[in-house]
Structures are given as structure tokens and as C-alpha cells.
Structure 1
């Protein structure tokens, strides 16, 4: 089963990530070291674990997901090995497995979007989940460029690596997390679903605007306006979703699942408040922290607090998140007494 393969991959990946905490990584010390470890947390643990949950919520027998589930362990381990090799062609080649894997995941996301269009069943949470899958190649592309030493800006190696982590967390992990949140809200807190739809849309719109602003920052056009708007949409939307997760947590039947999701939502809220301060503090006259101060706090809140606790929480809650209409017809047939 694809879901079991993703589960095994996330378990092995977690062990490898713990071992790598004691191993020097090639990108370097300081901020580079921390960002590298957070990227590896996404590649080795968070993304495979969230994909396991998506398999159990949707049809998991598509060709793309079968191939993705068979390749995820090798792809993630090769991606981790890329951080042990010096920056250059060898390290870049090691990331190509993750890039190929990401294309399979994106193909599944595109298939699900087409199915929604064909059936006319547009639900915000399902669209968010599918778009999270579609976005993975963006993160893989920046990861490959970072380890290969390709700088398209030039932005500098740190910005390239930060863009890779931005895509993995903001464009992939956050939409998948938000999709699961929306499913639970639809079932347990229907009065909050409109607010959820608006906030999730803001996150989806903000992520590419931030990337566009970064891309334009080294051109004559400049990207300040696009990046500022993207940061506002992304941070405000994420803060709102974090607050919704905190409000939803006590409504869940599974107490520990609710605790995990509540911790995840609270961590997201705090991380995005810091991001808002970092980007807008100077403009508002309240001073903004520097990168050296910001990255450890924002990074660990996002990596451990939001992504890891969130992935664990949704993994525990996923059987309760399946809506009746997603079940196969034979699963909905009433029992017939003999």
C-alpha cells in the first residue's frame, strides 16, 4: 500500500535525521547549518508523513502515487546525502531523485484537480491539498540549485537555500496541513468554514507572491511591493489558520490528536508573527530582528512545532477526516443481516 510505504519512509527518515544532528553538513556552519537541517526535516520526515495521510484520505491506487511511494525512501535518502557532499555537480545530482519524486507527486495533485473539475466538486480544503502536491517540484528545483551551486539571481547561496526551504514549508507542507484542517472544520466546526476558506486562499496567494518578489529583487523592476503583499497575505492567512487550529483542537474526539494539532497551530501562529515583525518591523518604526536572530526562532517553530507536530497530529486523526462522499460506494452499503 502506498500509505504504508510513505509511513516506512518517514520512520526511516526520522532516524536518519536524528543521526545527522551529530554530523557536520557541507553547506557550512551557523545559519547555513540550521537551514540545511530544517530542509532535511521536510525531505526526510514531514513531507513523506503528510503524503501518507493524503493517501488514506483519497484514492491511493493511482499510478503516480504507487510510483511515488516506491521511490520516496531512496529519493529522500539521496537528498540527505547531497548535504554531506561539497556543493557542486555531485551534490546536485544526488538531489535529482527528489526532483523526480516531486514530479510524480505533482502529477497526482494535477490528476486530483482535474477530477474535481470534471465532477464539479470544488471544495476549498480539497483544492488546497491538491495544490500542495503540485507545488513540490518548486521546492525540489531550488534544492537542486542550492546543492549544485547554481545561483539564478545572483541572490547568494543563503537566499537560494532559504528559497528551497520556503517552498517546502510554505508551498507544500502548509497547504497539506491546511487541507487536513479544512476537512476537520467542515465536519466539526461548520461555522468557521468561510473564515477558513478566506485564510487558506490568502496563504495560497501569498506564497507565489513572496517567491516573485525574491525573483524580481535583483532586476530593475524590483520586487519589494510583490514581496510585501505576499508576506502580508501569507503571514496573516497562516496566523488565522493557526488560530483556527487552536479553536478546533478541543472539539476533536481524539484528545492527543487535538493536542498535536493545537501545538502545531500555536507554533504556526507564533512563527508567522515573527515573520511579520521581521519583514515589516523597520517600516513600522519598531525595529526588525536580523537574520541571525530570526532564523533559529522562526525556523524551529516552523520545523518542529508546526511541521513535525502537525504531521504527527494529522497522521493520528486521518481516519476521522474521511468525508462520507469520499468512500467507495461499496463501503457505504448498509449491512444486510443474514
Structure 2
């Protein structure tokens, strides 16, 4: 991915796009259609050069897409129009797949890069609606509405998300993390509203306004690498602040039948401002100094095991050989240290609590977890014993340091198979846990901290911690987080609480009671 570079005015792709666009200007009989053509032949290629290292094949494919748009003005027979629109559709699909690949290499982390990914994927929607528009496919909507939806996905859903993604490389704040998902969701909501429900269009425009004006506010207070860049980006975002108000007025007319601005006015004013001030000036602004991505590549070791695990017969005593490599054990009760270093001496009793909102999903989740014998937790809150064994795993097969599998069962059924290992990043040791899944592995990177005589294991904080999915060589961060707190409540007993969240929303809690096997015999 390029960084710190700029677009060259002599770049053949850009100059060629401008020439093709000017040719279109002489050929078209309906000038307002040029608003979409400008995006297709000038703005989209310029944007792609900001976010992709284009190879020769990709450049050729872009040229093919640009020429297909021009030839649509020349070739009027239906078969030719369909073939050319398919070519452009395939071009947008290629961009979308590139965005998907970017996303799968990183996952749910870094809103700036996610915004760029989704913008690239949205472009395919623009290609679909352009195909519908060119071929006159009956969607139940007017020819004009099909075209408006196509232009919407080129500007609001592609160029804007890419722009705010680049902005996120130089600005980080909690407000930015709130605004980005709002702005990313708005194009789809507006499109659905335009197509099916004008009231939804009105409501989504309200959210869009909040997102856009929040973005303007952040741009005004952010220091850009270059003065001219800051000026152009602020003009670009501010122009959206003007056009979005007219979109609101227009959506009021569609929703309530009170027309204050006409469609012709929207096409001329709204279209030209978005094309020239928002699109062109914004892209030139980012081209002046392209910010570097802040997302580092994952560098920690990942288990090579995919699918079902076949452990060795050699037993291991604990989940770790020495807990002191993770934390200062002098700050912990000896029993907690002993549990991790001699886990086989202990018995675990667990009560599983599923969040109410997640319980309907158990109808799908539970049969799958039972089939693969992984994450196969009970549905009931009833206390059950988890019988565990710890076996060594072939280090050459796994690829990590000293792996060992902790296999836990309830009533004879396997509920967890977790392969424990560790790694160090910048001098700090992390637990590196792999849960084999069909054709993949879930990876949990946990940091350990001592907090007032308790041990906390968490997948949040820092660069490495998180929950990931490894498929082949791809490592994808999942929108999951976990927190595990263990403490000694009596001289002979430990308790632990394991909490998990999905997109920041709690969905699972497990209460553990942990006692030694000798203590259990005395109780019995």
C-alpha cells in the first residue's frame, strides 16, 4: 500500500481518464449523466491509486473499465450495451474483492482501514445499479432512480469512506470511532430508503448529517501534514455539509409530499458540488501527502493446526511451566500460581450464563458446536463439572513454543480443546491459545495482569491481544473480546469469572469454582 506519495499529473491513467471523459462530453445527449461518468473515468481511478499498489494487470483492467463507459455512448445495440456494462460491473467486482481481501488480512480492528475496505466493497453496488440502469432492467423503479442509486454508491459509498479512512490515519479519537460506523451504514440505509421507504431515507439522512458535521468538526481541529492539504480536505467535507442539507430538504419532500427543492436543482447543484468540491478537491488534497497506515502487520506466532487435533499421549501437568514469565507471581496467592502450573491437580465446576439476546442464536450455534466438539458449552445454568486432561502437542506440527492441549469435557462430551502456548512481543509475554476449528483455528492472545491479589487475563489492550481466526495464511481479527478474572476466595478454593462480548455487547458469562482433587475427596 502506498504512503507518503502523491498523484502525478502526468500519470497516463489519470490523463487518459480525463480525455475519455471529455470525449464523453461531446457524445452524450443528456449532460447530467456526466456526473456519474466523471466519477467512473476520473475520480474512481484517482482514488484507487491512493489506496492500492496497482500492478500492470490491474491497470489494464481499469483501462478496460474506463473504455467500456466511453463505448456505451457509441454502441447502441442491446447486446453491445450489455457486454460493456458487464465489463464495468466486473471492474467494480474486482475492486470489491480487493477490499474484502484487505479486510480478511486484518479483520475488525482499526476503523480507518475498515472504512477503506467497505468503501471498496460498496463500489460493486454502484456497478450493479449502473448495470441495471444501462440495460433498463425492470426493478419496479424509474430509470432515473436506478441512475441516482448508481451515482450514490460511487460518491457517498466509495469516495467518502475512502476519504474518511485516509483521515483516520492522521486523526484518532473516540468521536471518530463513533462517526465512522454511522457514515458507513448511511449509504446503504439511504439507498434502501430511496428505493423502498422514503421515511427511512429521511431518518438515515438525519444520521448522515450528524456523521458529516462531526467529520467537519474533527477536520477543523486536526493538524494536517500540509496547509494546502488541510484546506482542500476541509473544503471537501464542508461541501458535504451543504449538500446534505439539501438532501434533507429533498427527502422531506419524498417522505411527506412537501417539495421545497426540485430534482433538477438537486442534479445541477448537489451533483456539481459533490463532483467538483467534494470529490475532486478531496482526492487532490489526499494526493498532496498520502498518510501512512497505522495498522501494523501481525507478527506473533500462530498455530499451524487446522481442523481436528491429534495430541500426543505425553501428559503435561499445567497450562504453563512457569507463570512468572507472564506476571510477578509474588503479588499473587500461591494457589493461583499452582493452578496454572499444576492444573491437573484441580477440579473445575462451571455455571454457564448466556445473555438473553443471544439465546435464540443457540438454536443454530449449539448443533454446530456439538458436531465439531468445540466451544460446546451447556445451555443450562446448572452447575456442571468440567473434566480436563492436558496433553503435549507436537511442536513441529503446531509451530509454536511448547504447545499443550487442555481438553475439557462435560458428561463425556468435549466442550473445549484449547492448545496453550506463549510468545513475547517487545519484552512482554502473552498467552497464545489456539482452538482448532474445521479448516481453521481460533486464536486468543491474552495479556496477564495482577490486580489486588487477583489474576486478570484479557484479550483487550495493546497491539497483540485479541481474538483472531486463522484460515490458511490469513489472520482475521474477530469482533470478540474476553476477560477472565481468577481469585482465591478461601484457603482451599479459587473462583473465576469468564466474560465474553460480541461487538462490545456481553453475550456469555461462566462462573467457575476451582478446588483441588484432594479437597474434593474430603468433601465427598
Fold-level similarity (TM above 0.5): yes
Structure-2 separation of matches of 1:175 and 1:166? 12
Is 1:10 aligned to residue 14 of structure 2? yes
Partner of 1:333: none
- Structure with the larger RCO, 1 or 2 (CA within 8 Å, 6+ apart): 1
Query: TM-score, normalising length from structure 2?
Result: 0.52
Residue 270 of structure 1 deviates from its aligned partner by 1.3
Report if the CA contact (8 A) 2:20-2:66 is conserved. no
Hey, what does 1:219 align to over in structure 2? none
For structure 1, which segment, 256-265 or 235-244, has the greater mean C-alpha deviation from structure 2 after superposition?
235-244
Change (3 A) 1:11 1:309: same
Quick one: which of 297, 301, 325 aligns to 2:296?
Answer: 325
Question: Larger helix proportion, structure 1 or 2?
Answer: 1
2:260 corresponds in structure 1 to: 288
The correspondence of residues 129-144 of structure 1 with structure 2, limited to 5 A, is 129-144=116-131
Match of 2:145 among 143, 147, 159: 159
RMSD (CA atoms): 2.9
Q: Does the Cα contact within 8 Å between 1:47 and 1:173 map onto a contact in 2?
A: yes
Q: Distance in 1 between matches of 2:34 and 2:71?
A: 12
* Number of aligned residue pairs: 295
State the shift of 1:174 in Å. Answer: 1.1
1:69 aligned residue = 59
User: Which sections of structure 1, spanning at least 5 residues, go unmatched?
Assistant: 187-192, 217-222, 329-338
- 8 Å Cα contact 2:199/2:255 also seen in 1: no
Cα distance in 2 for partners of 1:97, 1:132 equals 20
1:39 maps to 36
Counting only pairs closer than 5 Å after superposition, residues 1-338 of structure 1 correspond to structure 2 as 7-21=11-25, 23-25=26-28, 28-29=29-30, 33-34=31-32, 36-55=33-52, 60=53, 67-86=57-76, 88-117=78-107, 122-153=109-140, 155-186=141-172, 193-216=173-196, 223-248=197-222, 251-280=223-252, 288-318=260-290, 320-323=291-294, 325=296
Shift of 1:245: 2.8
Aligned partners of 2:92 and 2:127 also within 8 Å: yes
Partner of 1:189: none
Change (3 A) 1:282 1:78: closer
Q: 1:44 to 1:133 in 2, by over 3 A?
A: same
Q: Partners in 1 of 2:213 and 2:262 — Cα distance?
A: 21
Structure having the larger proportion of residues in strand:
2
Q: Which protein shows a greater Rg?
A: 2
